[in-house]
Structure 1
Amino acid sequence: MVPGMAPAEPTHPVRSRSASRYDVVVAGGGHNGLVAAAYLARAGRRVLVLERLGHVGGLAVSARAFPGVDARLSRYSYLVSLLPTKIVKDLGLAVELRRRRYASYTPVGETGLLVDGGDEHRTAASFARVTGGTADLEAWRRFYAMTAQAAARIAPTLLEPLVSRTAMRDLVGGETWRELFERPIGEVVDERFADDTVRGVVLTDALIGTFADPCDEGLLANRCLLYHVIGDGTGEWNVPVGGMGAVSGALAGAARAAGAEIRTGAEVVAIDPGGEVTFRDGAGEHAVTGERVLANVPPAVLARLLGGGGDGPAPEGAQLKINMVLSRLPRLRDPEVDPVAAFSGTFHINEGREQLARAHAEAARGTIPGLPPAEVYCHSLTDPSILGPELRAAGAQTMTLFGLHMPARLFRADPAGAREEAVRATLASVNRVLAEPIEDCLLRDPDGRPCLEAKTPVDLEAEAGLPGGHIFHRDLSWPFGEPGRWGVETGFERILLCGAGARRGGGVSGIPGHNAAMALLS
């Protein structure tokens, strides 16, 4: 049963037309739909993928966002952590996920906290400068040893039938269960760490794309944190060489090579519980029938396609995405850190514990935060292949900014005006921690316009069809449930979810696509 959707006969009229028959029709050609199609076609099923846009990949794509500028940006999603190595090997994907040496850098006054994955002593010295001692460094090591153990144990279960809550508790162990699954993560972090900056760095992973108070008893922030530290059993966030489009391109290639048929520019407009799928393209309206239908769309969209409605809360995304191309890296206030090191990993901007709480409270009151918390990284420092030769030679870099606590509600009344205000406030927030304005470093296109574009949740709703602009399709769920099920089932036997809104969905993972295929094949 899709949460918030009651089984009902479709209320929309479906014309009588002769329909082509397939074993499986996949509604939506995002990365999860492509994973499902590849597995099923390799198993001998006749598969049709229908994609509304003129390209496959959904939000996992690369694009030249600025006219005349030879830079291929991962425009929406930008890093890969949850994609299992097993899926890459099973499907023979020719993708390279490159590790980032530097995990993060957080400016603090005239210094900063650098987490250097290649030099423990340098990390320890940085903690000492920022926190004034070693207690938080030791707490950091204990906390991430705990999450690493949880990741190693949970990750393999994500590609198997669901286990029960009790079985998951037994798997991860008592202390880890209490700290990550039962207590609000805000309370855990406040108890374990003393320094405001360190607390904030830990908590950002609990708030990516999620509008939540980390001390709330609903534990939404806990669920968000969990998926950000599981990462294929290691928790590492890696750079897709060639951009995110290289991942989707490899998946589409694997699906086509196995025999799947992929049609772009084909918008699904209705799904019947009996398996008929109605879609519209440039030639008009058509219908096909699948023995099974895999819905690579948000649950709220599936409910609409089935002719029903949902009575649950509407999804709400909570992020501001800003894509930039820089003529050069900005200067830092910290003379001890090379900007290449600082921007190669996640560069935290005004994301201290108190700053995060203040921004959440302001957004909850309906106002854009005065000092928006955000984080940036430069893909091109790890993977310069996304830049053309002239840009590389000139020292240009891409920069991706992800802003927190920017819920869709802030942009409903005046989308363009609110976007402009949010961008202005966010750039001012960035400038508070740099030695020079970021605007001075922006590359300009041949017409003199700065290379900067911003996407709000309302923009994602309009451009990508995500209700509320929610990048996870809906709030993330725990990775356990009814034993023996795959977390992709709906209230209709012939229809399965295969997108991010399935249990164990969210992020660029391919896990829901794999699980929908396995549920069908088993």
Structure 2
Amino acid sequence: MKDFYDVVIVGGGHNGLVAAGYLAGAGLSTLVLEQQGQTGGAAVSQQVFPGVDARLSRYSYLVSLLPDKIVADLGLSLELRSRSVASYTPVRRGGRDLGLLVDRPEGAATRASFATLTGSDTEYDAWSAFYGSVSELAAVVAPTLLEPLLPAAELRRRVNPALWEALVERPLGEVIEQRFADDTVRGVVATDSVIGTFAGLHDESLIQNRCFLYHLIGNGTGEWRVPVGGMGAVTDALATAARRAGASLVTNASVTSVQADGKRGSVTWLGGDGERSVDCSFVLANVAPATLAGLRGLGGVARPEGSQLKINLLLSRLPRLRSGDDPARAFAGTFHIDEDYSQLESAYLEAAGGSLPAVPPSEVYCHSLTDPSILSPSLIASGHHTLTVFGVHFPARLFASDNDAARNESVRRVLAGLESYLAEPLEPCIARDAEGNLCIEAKTPYDIEASVGMPGGHIFHGDLQWPWLDNSADAGRWGVETDVANLLICGSGARRGGAVSGIPGHNAAQAVLELHP
């Protein structure tokens, strides 16, 4: 290892690897330091259950915001596969068990499903018009994500003013209530605004609007795709690209200090051979801003608060549904549980008041229906499947006094919600590991912080920001700048961060290449 590098990247998650690929590819000596035993951060595939040959996408699990340009630029060997179904929502009304199905691409079956639920074509027509408008905004915003930040006024001129006002200037709840009448349809729309974000739909901060926008602008289409081989396949491809370009990747390196004065930088870490330091021209921080502040010895930086419960399961078979719909079709997309609009709002109010939601909204995703390669041949042959459950409105504060007890009760409530739509008990469908235990793993915000170092368990490293220049702060040219010229944020805490996108890594690399002599 050298004593000096052009760039040292703190954190070997996907954004750090993207930055390394670009910078090393441009001829800059680049060192990546990762505290875990492998690169990938939260975008990894792991064998979670003892003696069970299933590699689960343990923390993050779908890809939308990763631009095709980054995949092409870095020559990634990667397959992102479309799901056959966008979403399925089980509904119980008037003594009947129904299911609202949204196909991909939408067609006659989707329209018929809306009509069966609502009694007319009105809601589906409103749905089509609304998402048609959203796609117009996505088509404008997506191409700018890998460019220097544009002023909000410039982007506003490129879209319908009424659309901009509805999605950017007014609380999202207003437009949902204006456009849709059905509580379930409203909820399916609204859920994209609260994944990883703790907010009410009428929150004046508009954080829910920002979350909604990020969920729908990926590559201009907003489609969420399945990485073949699991999320680890994404970061493995990025690590391969970074090494191929000449970057040095060091694991089991726990960074303890970051220093930068605008011209020179220094990073210190603890590894297997003790404490080491290296000097550099630039430091890129692929850690949360709150973590970076600690590494710099700064105080006064608020810790973010995550707001989700993550449950991983392995099933011996998919359970039957009360609606009678084919579970292989219902679970092929995002399976919504108790996410009616009114249920989302009730759960938020309960959690904001300090109580676990009595009926917690959640979403279920079955990776193995789209990509069975994450399972061994014997598990595939016997009908096993993975399920990931993402519970919303579970802020870290609810787990502060007793994380274990609150986790157990939260899991019980979420799985009871799923079971209420099943035609059979869930437990007999859950596989058991080599020790005879049910294949269930749950992660609260505190568990996520302990596992992968995200402060407060916040999956976005903090509140998402508008992907353009606004009046909230001086965001710099690329949205990755800090108060020191040669210290840049290349992780999810950058403007235009969040999710598995690689965008902050790309943008930090471009900022370095503009500044490097």
Q: Per the shorter chain, which TM-score range?
A: over 0.9
Partner residue of 1:42?
A: 25
Among 82, 86, 91, which residue is 1:108 paired with? 91
Contact kept in structure 1, 2:475 and 2:481, CA below 8 Å = no
Contact kept in structure 1, 2:140 and 2:155, CA below 8 Å = no
Task: Give the CA deviation at 1:119.
Answer: 5.3
Are 1:326 and 2:309 counterparts? no
2:157 is paired with a residue whose SS is: helix
Instruction: Show CA shifts across 1:12-59 (max 9, x none).
Output: xxxxxx981000000000000000000000000000000000000000
> How does 1:304-383 map onto structure 2 within 5 Å?
304-311=294-301, 313-335=302-324, 337-383=325-371
Q: Kindly provide the amino acid, as one letter, of the partner of residue 440 in structure 2.
A: L
1:344 is paired with a residue whose SS is: coil
Q: Kindly provide the amino acid, as one letter, of the partner of residue 52 in structure 1.
A: Q
Alpha-carbon distance between aligned partners in 1 of 2:267 and 2:162, rounded to the nearest angstrom: 48
> How does 1:28-427 map onto structure 2 within 5 Å?
28-109=11-92, 110-118=97-105, 120-274=107-261, 275-311=265-301, 313-335=302-324, 337-427=325-415
Task: Give the CA deviation at 1:173.
Answer: 2.8
Contact kept in structure 2, 1:486 and 1:516, CA below 8 Å = yes
Alpha-carbon distance between aligned partners in 1 of 2:2 and 2:320, rounded to the nearest angstrom: 61
Of the structure 1 ranges 167-176 and 153-162, higher mean CA displacement relative to structure 2 is found in 167-176
Partner residue of 2:452?
A: 464
Are 1:487 and 2:487 counterparts? no
Q: Kindly provide the amino acid, as one letter, of the partner of residue 328 in structure 1.
A: R
Task: Give the CA deviation at 1:118.
Answer: 4.1
Instruction: Show CA shifts across 1:262-310 (max 9, x none).
Output: 0000011001123011111111111001100000000000111111013
Instruction: Show CA shifts across 1:242-280 (max 9, x none).
Output: 000000000000000000000000011001123011111
Partner residue of 1:451?
A: 439
TM-score by length of 2: 0.96
Alpha-carbon distance between aligned partners in 2 of 1:71 and 1:406, rounded to the nearest angstrom: 27
Query: Are residues 413 and 251 of structure 1, via their aligned partners in 2, closer, same or farther at CA, if it must alter by over 3 Å?
Result: same
Alpha-carbon distance between aligned partners in 2 of 1:465 and 1:345, rounded to the nearest angstrom: 29
Identity of aligned residues (%): 61
Task: Give the CA deviation at 1:494.
Answer: 1.1
Q: Kindly provide the amino acid, as one letter, of the partner of residue 420 in structure 1.
A: N
Structure 1 unaligned residues grouped into runs of 5+: 1-17
Contact kept in structure 2, 1:80 and 1:240, CA below 8 Å = yes
Partner residue of 2:494?
A: 502
1:399 is paired with a residue whose SS is: strand
Contact kept in structure 2, 1:19 and 1:289, CA below 8 Å = no
2:349 is paired with a residue whose SS is: helix
Alpha-carbon distance between aligned partners in 2 of 1:58 and 1:290, rounded to the nearest angstrom: 23
User: Which segments of structure 1 move beyond 2 Å, counting only runs of 4 or more?
Assistant: none
Alpha-carbon distance between aligned partners in 2 of 1:166 and 1:205, rounded to the nearest angstrom: 25
Task: Give the CA deviation at 1:483.
Answer: 8.5
1:444 is paired with a residue whose SS is: coil
Q: Kindly provide the amino acid, as one letter, of the partner of residue 62 in structure 1.
A: S
1:286 is paired with a residue whose SS is: strand
Of the structure 1 ranges 18-27 and 186-195, higher mean CA displacement relative to structure 2 is found in 18-27
Alpha-carbon distance between aligned partners in 2 of 1:124 and 1:271, rounded to the nearest angstrom: 55
TM-score by length of 1: 0.95
Instruction: Show CA shifts across 1:319-343 (max 9, x none).
Output: 00000000000101112x2111100
Alpha-carbon distance between aligned partners in 1 of 2:404 and 2:70, rounded to the nearest angstrom: 40
Instruction: Show CA shifts across 1:159-196 (max 9, x none).
Output: 00000111121123312211110110011101110000
Task: Give the CA deviation at 1:442.
Answer: 0.3
Q: CA RMSD in A?
A: 1.2
Contact kept in structure 1, 2:475 and 2:495, CA below 8 Å = no
Contact kept in structure 2, 1:102 and 1:341, CA below 8 Å = yes
Of the structure 1 ranges 506-515 and 185-194, higher mean CA displacement relative to structure 2 is found in 185-194
Contact kept in structure 2, 1:347 and 1:377, CA below 8 Å = yes
